[in-house]
Amino acid sequence: MYELEQVGQDSFYIQSPAKIGLFRIDEAEVCLIDSGSDKEAGRKVRQILDKNNWRLTAIFNTHSNADHIGGNKYLQGQTNCRIYAPGIDCDFTNHTILEPAFLYGGFPPKELRHKFLLAQESQAKPLVQERLPDGMEMIALPGHFFDMVGFRTEDDVVYLADCLSSRATLEKYQISFVYDVAAYLATLEQVKTMQAALFVPAHAEPTEDIAPLAQYNIDKVHEIADRIVEFCREPAGFEAVLRRLFLDYGLVMNFEQYALVGSTVRSYLAWLKDSGRLEALFEDGQLLWRAV
């Protein structure tokens, strides 16, 4: 873990639970794509920088999930590097309580206020193409989170952040986190047609052909949607739908899974309603969902 892998003349990634991209600007300066999950990840990155006599000038966050920005504060404090994050995710990076609060739908209990959902705050500025060094291009990848982006380097390496999950992850957890289902599917369709020398997803193995994995993720979204519609043949509330999914997929309920999967299921319900497959009913003080 935390080995440096070179995948182009100037493109690298650091093997970690959420892969960290590294782009060499010149012989002395580098930038990072994300920073890992916590202070310890930041320390591991710093050791790699020191070993190669590299100076870190910037971190470009793909999005603001804690496992991608957790090393920001440590690395910024150690190197005085600049940090950039896209759109709304910049606000979440600067005010990290927003992530668990958003997931829970209110002030999060202490079981959700930990480093996996609540990163240390860092000082980020809005990410726009002009902030990137020569040789890097920003790619919009919305859906998983608010304004998530990926990057293509001049080596034709594409860093895909969290826009898809590995087969092993989906087989184990079944329901990957999605904020906007329609945008997520559009992103996957876009990714499916991409060509590159190498694709580096944050949570899957690097590959030269991303299309099969993108299609697998698309199919899983539709499978989950179909199940939800089937559960709602008779009017059902959110908690009932969530319970059926946990039981059917053999998932274990705890606060973290309730927040992550629960937020995702709410997104599915909204998408299915907006696309005409479900309707919302208000009866006996309840919001119920019914298949159309």
Supply the mean pLDDT for the chain.
98
> How many CB atoms within 10 Å of residue 164?
30
Residue 121 binned pLDDT confidence (cut-offs 50, 70, 90)? very high
What pLDDT is stored for residue 261 in this prediction?
Answer: 98
Model pTM score = 0.97
Contact between 118 and 112 (Cβ < 8 Å): yes
What pLDDT is stored for residue 18 in this prediction?
Answer: 97
- Residue 175 is which amino acid? I
What pLDDT is stored for residue 56 in this prediction?
Answer: 98
What pLDDT is stored for residue 20 in this prediction?
Answer: 98
pLDDT tens profile 173-217: 999 999 999 999 999 999 999 999 999 999 999 999 999 999 999
What pLDDT is stored for residue 105 in this prediction?
Answer: 97
In the CATH scheme, what is the homologous superfamily, with its name and number, of domain 4-162? Ribonuclease Z/Hydroxyacylglutathione hydrolase-like (3.60.15.10)
**Average confidence (pLDDT) over 230-254:** 98
Please spell the DSSP secondary structure of 195-233, one letter per residue.
--SEEEETTS--BS--HHHHHHHHHHHHHHHHHHHHHTT
**Average confidence (pLDDT) over 87-112:** 98
What pLDDT is stored for residue 34 in this prediction?
Answer: 98
The 3-state DSSP class for residue 157 equals strand
Candidate CATH numbers 2.40.50, 2.60.120, 3.30.160, 1.10.10; the one for domain 231-291: 1.10.10
**Average confidence (pLDDT) over 126-138:** 97
Cα separation values, 41 from 64, 68, 84, 215, Å: 16, 10, 18, 31
Q: Can you give the residue ranges of every domain in the chain?
A: 4-162, 231-291
**Average confidence (pLDDT) over 2-10:** 98
Structure tokens at 275: 């696309």
> What's 170-198 look like in SS3?
HHHHCCCCCCCHHHHHHHHHHHHCCCCCE
- Residue 150 is which amino acid? G
For 145, which DSSP code?
A: S
pLDDT tens profile 16-41: 999 999 999 999 999 999 999 999 99
pLDDT tens profile 133-177: 999 999 999 999 999 999 999 999 999 999 999 999 999 999 999
- Residue 4 is which amino acid? L
